[in-house]
A = this chain, B = another copy of it.
């Protein structure tokens, strides 16, 4: 089980990596087992040998993407900084992550929309509730110092996420409507790494 040679990645892992790519690009319904096999450089039959069915393979990919996204970001919230500091770091990290994975938000939201039970199942397989509880406690605690009631705290959190995620998720539409080239849009997103926390703090105060 020596794995230090990355260029000789085993078949199971290559299949999984290929599946991540294909499912992300095409969605569950649009993805083809044939294409996953081709990208992994192996035969279709081997997919079923390792993962039994398309559905089971997809669920593993889905959980992996969702939990990867969440655990990546929870790092930004750890430590003993002030709420303001955490907000700036979180905004920078989150937009940075999304810039490297622009397809993920719509992919995840759409698959959840199509298969609502996915979210509950995924939550069971990863320790999602626990991680999210940490998020909530962390954020609510920070916001609690601002004398906001429960509903106001929820508005604040949703405001932050909305301002960070949507501009990346809707990039193609926004670029098309306002006729913006890629470089300009990239600058636009980079600016938001500080503009969003600024705006959020302004709203709360």
Contacts and interface: CB of A to CB of B under 8 A. Distances in A.
B120 A169 contact: no
Interface in A155-205: 155, 157-159, 161-163, 165-167, 169-170, 172-174, 176-178, 180, 187-188, 191-192, 195, 199, 202-203
B106 A188 contact: no
A30 B202 CA distance: 44
Nearest to A102: B113
A110 B112 contact: no
Contacts of A167: 158, 162
Contact of A27 (B27, B172, B176, B180): B27
A7 interface: no
Contacts of A180: 154
Nearest to A162: B166
Nearest to A196: B159
B112 A172 contact: yes
Contacts of A165: 162, 166, 170
Interface in A83-139: 103, 106-107, 109-110, 112-114, 116, 119-120, 123, 132, 135-136
Contacts of A110: 27, 106-107, 109-110
Given A202-B202, A202-B203, 11 more contacts: A27-B110, A106-B110, A107-B113, A116-B172, A119-B173, A136-B178, A151-B187, A158-B166, A158-B167, A158-B174, A162-B165
Interface of A: 26-27, 29-30, 103, 106-107, 109-110, 112-114, 116, 119-120, 123, 132, 135-136, 151, 154-155, 157-159, 161-163, 165-167, 169-170, 172-174, 176-178, 180, 187-188, 191-192, 195, 199, 202-203
